[in-house]
Amino acid sequence: MAISFFKRIFGGDSEERNSEAETRKEKQRQRRSQAASNNAGEAGDPAVDLSGLEAFVEYVVKALVDAPEKVSLESVEKERITIIQVRCEKSDIGKIIGKSGKTIAAIRSLVSSAAGRSGLRVSVDVLD
């Protein structure tokens, strides 16, 4: 589910991208016109996008830790940004953060760029 969400956001195979480029461009034009007409300025349904982002974060974090059953996520709205808070065992925090913070930086980068394509601002925090 999480991987298919990112395929849908960023596109699938290169052959598929070439054959459907015009269709996507048309959809982007429609989303832009919808965003312009919408007072909130949001493109698409943010609840669907946010649930997909949460599913992706949960999938990746559970794959990294030793105790995946103790992983929990919570989304918190602060001002104009949504923060996905990850809670897990203290011994697993280092696995999520990674060496020099590279793992959590990669997760944040993917989530942020996917959210940006949907007109959202989303970040990921690891809580102890």
pLDDT value at residue 39: 43
Q: Is the pLDDT higher at 38 or at 78? A: 78
pLDDT value at residue 43: 46
At residue 8's C-alpha, the angle toward residues 39 and 102, to 5°, is 95
- pLDDT tens for 22-36 read 676 677 667 666 655
Is 4 a residue whose pLDDT tops 70? yes
% of the chain surpassing 70 pLDDT: 70
Distance of CA 112 to the CA centre of its chain: 6
Relative orientation angle of helices 102-117 and 2-10, to the nearest 10 degrees: 60
Q: Is the pLDDT higher at 4 or at 58? A: 58
**What would the mean pLDDT of 87-100 be, rounded to a whole number?**
94
CA dist., res. 6 & res. 95, Å (int) = 23
pLDDT value at residue 60: 95
CA of 52: how far to CAs of 45, 76, 88, 108, in Å? 11, 15, 20, 14
**What would the mean pLDDT of 68-97 be, rounded to a whole number?**
93
Q: Is the pLDDT higher at 118 or at 76? A: 76
Q: Is the pLDDT higher at 84 or at 49? A: 84
Q: How many folded domains does the chain comprise?
A: 1
CATH code assigned at 7: 3.30.300.20
Mean of the per-residue pLDDT values of the chain: 81
Is 44 a residue whose pLDDT tops 70? no
Q: Residue 99 belongs to what domain range?
A: 2-127
